[in-house]
């Protein structure tokens, strides 16, 4: 098998609880594998799944892991392992995809180490999950879906995502290798009250800083910042040449301050305790 991975990130958030489910297939030259990763509150876990009963689509957010189904209409779960017992069904409202892929022309380059896709910036979620004996009811909750595929996660990267009443946000920066060199790539999208702000390397955006819980990107006269308040989050597995041998950390729900400025004036700002954040740059 050619070293590769493909997976989707399904995030669900209510006023009382957040959970993220990451179904994926992955493999190195030696073996193929599949897994379901879970983030729930301050807990995280990895459940190995049978590769011969797993399939993940890149064309749309769809994955099958044994009896578990993930798609654009919802999620059906029946998971039992040594540490996790998850049962239930979640139903999604209409997804909110992007008018243009977030990676723009870079999505067409075959040598990219990792490609990123947003399937829905925000959608309604209803349903019930039973997680390790606890009943979690999602009623008029919110969801977000994104995906990644390629060979490896970037060696250095930062990422944040937030759902809030007026809209949603995703921003990411990464070291992007191209042959013997590498450049700092940037993608971000802020949707607020029907308006969209897009930042991207192909639009002239650049990374100003990604250190110590602070991210700052600039695109002409616009500046977008994110500041994590607190420490790194829960461990997750990430791919290196298709094998899930790397450990990264994600805060599923943590305090973050966001700000968008134009010519020095504040266009939008938000301080929330329900943002998601990963920072894999050196301190």
Strand-strand pairing, 157-164 and 167-178? antiparallel
Residues of the domain holding 131:
4-279
Q: Any residues with CB less than 8 A from the CB of 118 and at least 6 apart, and which? A: 97, 98, 102, 145, 146, 170, 189
pLDDT of 29 higher than 70: no
The domain total for the chain is 1
pLDDT class of 194 with cuts at 50, 70, 90: confident
pLDDT class of 275 with cuts at 50, 70, 90: very high
Strand partners, 242: none
Residue-level pLDDT at 283:
66
Rounded distance between C-alpha atoms, residue 64 and residue 57, angstroms: 9
The mean pLDDT of 135-142, rounded to a whole number, is 97
The mean pLDDT of 260-266, rounded to a whole number, is 97
State pTM to two decimals.
0.96
pLDDT of 111 higher than 80: no
Mean residue pLDDT of the chain comes to 94
pLDDT of 1 higher than 70: no
- DSSP class of residue 80? E
- At residue 85's C-alpha, the angle toward residues 49 and 71, to 5°, is 55
Per-residue pLDDT reduced to its tens digit, 39-88: 998 899 999 999 999 999 999 999 999 999 999 999 999 999 999 999 99
Sheet with 85-92: strands ordered across: 43-49, 32-40, 18-27, 4-13, 134-150, 114-131, 85-92, 74-80, 68-71, 62-65, 54-57
Residue-level pLDDT at 227:
96
**String of b and e for 8-34 (b: at least 16 CB within 10 Å)?**
bbbbbbbeebbbbbbbbbbbbeeeebb
Rounded distance between C-alpha atoms, residue 229 and residue 256, angstroms: 6
Residue-level pLDDT at 105:
87
Rounded distance between C-alpha atoms, residue 206 and residue 184, angstroms: 7
Rounded distance between C-alpha atoms, residue 247 and residue 73, angstroms: 31
Strand partners, 45: 38
The percentage of the chain sitting over the pLDDT mark of 70, rounded to a whole number, equals 99
Q: Which two tokens stand for residue 105?
A: 């022309």
Residue-level pLDDT at 106:
82
């Amino acid at each position: 098998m050619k070293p590769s991975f493909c997976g989707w990130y399904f995030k669900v958030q209510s006023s009382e609880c957040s959970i993220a489910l990451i179904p994926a297939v992955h493999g190195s030259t030696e073996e193929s594998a599949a897994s379901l990763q879970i983030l729930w509150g301050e807990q995280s876990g990895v459940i190995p799944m049978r590769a011969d009963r797993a399939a993940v689509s890149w064309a749309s957010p769809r994955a099958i892991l044994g009896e578990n189904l993930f798609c654009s209409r919802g999620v059906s779960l029946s998971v039992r392992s040594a540490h996790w017992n998850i049962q239930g069904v979640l139903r999604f409202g209409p997804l909110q995809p992007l008018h243009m892929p977030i990676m723009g022309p870079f999505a067409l380059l075959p040598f990219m180490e990792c490609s990123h896709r947003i399937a829905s910036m925000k959608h309604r979620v209803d349903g019930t999950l039973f997680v390790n004996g606890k009943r979690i009811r999602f009623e008029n909750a919110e969801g977000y879906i994104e995906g990644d595929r390629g060979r490896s996660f970037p060696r250095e990267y930062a990422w944040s995502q937030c759902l809030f009443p007026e809209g949603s946000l995703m921003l990411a920066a990464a070291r992007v290798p191209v042959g013997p060199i590498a450049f700092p790539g940037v993608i971000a999208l802020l949707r607020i009250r029907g308006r969209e702000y897009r930042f991207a390397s192909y639009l002239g955006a650049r990374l100003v800083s990604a250190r110590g819980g602070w991210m700052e990107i600039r695109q002409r006269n616009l500046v977008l910042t994110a500041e994590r308040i607190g420490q790194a989050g829960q461990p997750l597995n990430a791919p290196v040449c298709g094998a899930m041998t790397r450990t990264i950390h994600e805060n599923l729900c943590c305090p973050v301050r966001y700000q968008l400025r134009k010519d020095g004036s504040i266009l939008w700002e938000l301080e929330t305790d329900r943002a998601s954040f990963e920072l894999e740059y050196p301190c």
